[in-house]
Chain A
């Protein structure tokens, strides 16, 4: 009986739940689509040199983790629905139904609704998984074939996951409904919105942000100031500005506390100042990340984790900026109203509507803005990041087998290898495994002078030398034309990370070098930026000198590098075994110092590299899509909650003689503000962040991705987002008007 009643309720309120169901369908679809690729059923369909185990194992954690965010959404939606239906619940209880039964019926209703959404979502997910699969296939360079992706394990997973989510929320709802007093349920609608002061709204955030500000000051004083004299002017300005703005922020906090507690004032102006200083501090803090990087490179501070400190601190400051900003908006509106009578009176109703909501919702808006901003930045920057990763992968996985040694972990110069690698073991291994070797190269790099060995600070790392014949053998192996070198001169091989301006600068400083007892001059136009693998660039320098063979014979050997190509690509399983065996063998032959050898097999590199880039690409896309959908739903629902709560207001102005077109205009204006402000703020913020990323990371992405591509990617993301946004906006507008008209 109760189930029947619940079913009828579902049918009746289907339109109210439209947005909720739509969101659930979308998120379930995303969940299923992305999860399906981690299914063993999917893996069994892949070509032999592909293995997604690593990728799958990571995605299996990321996807449900992100989906857990849905708890917030579901509970938000449920509380919205409970609020809408409270009166109905109260009536049922008054008529004699037990409170427990009412709660139970609501639970069943939501569960049915949820399961319908999950059902449709899975169908959507099956379609979506085709798209995801197409991306994966194209990453591995395999042609894509359409396939049927209804995997039982994925379906079971999706069902279980969401059912558990629903049940957890359901239990929460039952508790909420059972605890309510009937009288409150009946009269809840009549409650006016509480008027909180700015102090109440932002005090916790102010205190939390003060802690962040103190951290920034500590970081500056303890870690940066002691090296003040070693900085260039730019670094000094950044540090100075950072300290001043943080101090100003803290000063404002004190003024704010004094104003609100001692003087009992509203403190809006100080709050606005707080927001401004938080933003400035956040931006400067981002800038100082470069400084920290530079200090790490110069060996002034130790610990790679320092790189993450400025962005985290900065993020905290920026989040606070948004919170304070939205809290202050209310005050700005009041100010506008007071200052401009004309504007104020012409928009009385709109301003009233906005003001009443700002008081309660500024925090939600701030959080939404931050999430939008992060998602936009993530979505916009991901293609560039993965492009960079893929480009680098292509550059380093040029040969089927590569083995190289590094000298930076060797402690004494006497421990360095004395001769090139004896590779007969590997050659035999490959031949026995059924792989024909089509070519090999055995290359050594040398120190120009022995003292170079002791330089370990990253910034001053020496450039090594390679003999002409070795370099030519690499060129030959990678299918390039060989080069020649005039007598008594040297050339430079550049890694593909080196940019033109760096090459020019370096060449101006190094026209002549001393290699052992020889003095060599730079040959004309002898800069070779050809991809011959990363094996010769082990000392983290982007340049290696190409020296005559006779010179190299007198120098100290630094590293050895062996590369080989096979006729066919190694299968994944063979590659794993080979990798293990070579590593064992390397550590047992004493040809190179212990633990200084590295094995790179193309099959493994591709698998790992592509898996990583896929993980970023798919995981990032999934995360930001889910977040955007959640945010848009909350935005839409916020409007809809209002439309039913404030139906009365529209009814009043209709009675006062405001016509229908004007009412529609009010609705549009009000919604534009509520949808518009977070969107515009986050668009602007994301635009600024992306511009910063484009400029700051120029050197790391430009070898692989052109600026044009970067901008196109960002543009596509923006346009797609705007389209999705417009869909949600019009949908909400439609539902809002429907809600209003119900009573008119």
Chain B
């Protein structure tokens, strides 16, 4: 397996000379093609900053990020938008669907931004919708469907362009436990059947337990890493809780 994302000694500082906060303090890791990786940590551990740096929304203070051997930190400002739409797919905590468009149009929007041929759009959207089980609600507006459905729609939107990497920022944060479970199963399907590479940021142990590999961040550094290997999800969940206890994290975070 080849690596798709390589984080190389990145650092990120906030503030001015007299008062510097290190949000990320020398982090390095690699993500292999087809991996489902979760990044865990308490609030303030730097996980969102890390995600923002990878997604080119924020810049790093030092170090390099390679996506398929292309240095993300060296991309010029006016090419960033293009880079994002061609290589990355996003799933946000608050869905970020356009309330003016139907679910179908929301998914199609990602295709049209990438200038996909118009005649392909409908079939591609429906194909994707079928896989994520949102075919019946395609012509509804976001406010007419449930949160879980919205998030699955967001997943479809993120997947439709076959991006190299899908970045998910607390995807279950706004969902109830049942919807969260459904969504995570969906994401597992995306990963296993559609071969999507997913990088997910979460502070929730249950959510993280669906991933194949879990990185723990603490104070801007990688604290430890767990591989699922041949373990069942339940076993992994237990392990995560152990690490969290070790981290001094609050067990009430886990469901």
Contact = CB atoms under 8 A, between A and B. Distances in A.
Interface in A337-382: 341-342, 345-346, 348-349, 352-353, 355-356
Prevailing SS type, chain A contact patch: helix
B107 to A, nearest CB: 10
Interface stretch (B58-66, B108-116, B200-208, B226-234): B108-116
B96 A341 contact: no
B13 interface: no
B100 A658 contact: no
Contacts of B114: 657
A659 B82 contact: yes
A654 B78 CA distance: 13
A657 B85 contact: yes
Query: What is the size category of the interface that chain B forms with chain A?
Result: 20 to 34
Contacts of B99: 192-193, 356, 649
Nearest to B88: A657
A652 interface: yes
Contacts of B57: 655
Contacts of A193: 99
B90 interface: yes
Among B99, B108, B112, which residue has the most Cβ atoms of chain A within 10 A? B99
A656 B57 CA distance: 11
Nearest to B80: A659
A232 B67 CA distance: 84
B100 A656 contact: no
A341 B118 contact: yes
A345 B121 CA distance: 8
Contacts, number: 77
A218 B205 CA distance: 77
A657 B113 contact: yes
Prevailing SS type, chain B contact patch: helix
Contact of B98 (A653, A657, A662): A653
B101 A352 contact: yes
Given A192-B143, A342-B118, A653-B113, A349 B98 contact: yes
A48 to B, nearest CB: 68
Given A341-B118, A341-B121, A649-B100, A656 B108 contact: no
B35 interface: no
A194 to B, nearest CB: 10
Given A341-B121, A345-B118, A657-B84, A352 B100 contact: yes
Interface residues of A, number: 26
Contacts of B96: 648, 651-652, 655
A504 B85 CA distance: 78
B81 interface: yes
A660 interface: yes
Contact of A656 (B78, B90, B121, B143): B90
B143 A659 contact: no
Interface in B15-71: 57
B117 to A, nearest CB: 10
A530 to B, nearest CB: 70
Contact of B81 (A195, A341, A355, A657): A657
B122 interface: yes
Interface in A152-194: 192-193
Given A342-B118, A349-B109, A659 B100 contact: no
Contacts of A195: 141
A345 B108 contact: yes
A661 to B, nearest CB: 9
Contacts of A657: 81-86, 88, 113-114
Contacts of B157: 656
B105 interface: yes
Contacts of A653: 98, 109, 113
Which 5 interchain pairs have the tightest Cβ spacing?
A657-B85, A352-B100, A659-B81, A657-B84, A356-B100
Interface of A: 192-193, 195, 341-342, 345-346, 348-349, 352-353, 355-356, 648-649, 651-660, 662
15 contacts: A341-B118, A348-B105, A349-B100, A349-B101, A352-B100, A353-B100, A356-B100, A649-B98, A649-B100, A652-B98, A654-B81, A655-B57, A657-B81, A657-B86, A659-B81
Given A656-B157, A657-B88, A658-B85, 9 more contacts: A195-B141, A341-B121, A346-B112, A348-B101, A352-B98, A648-B96, A656-B85, A657-B82, A662-B81
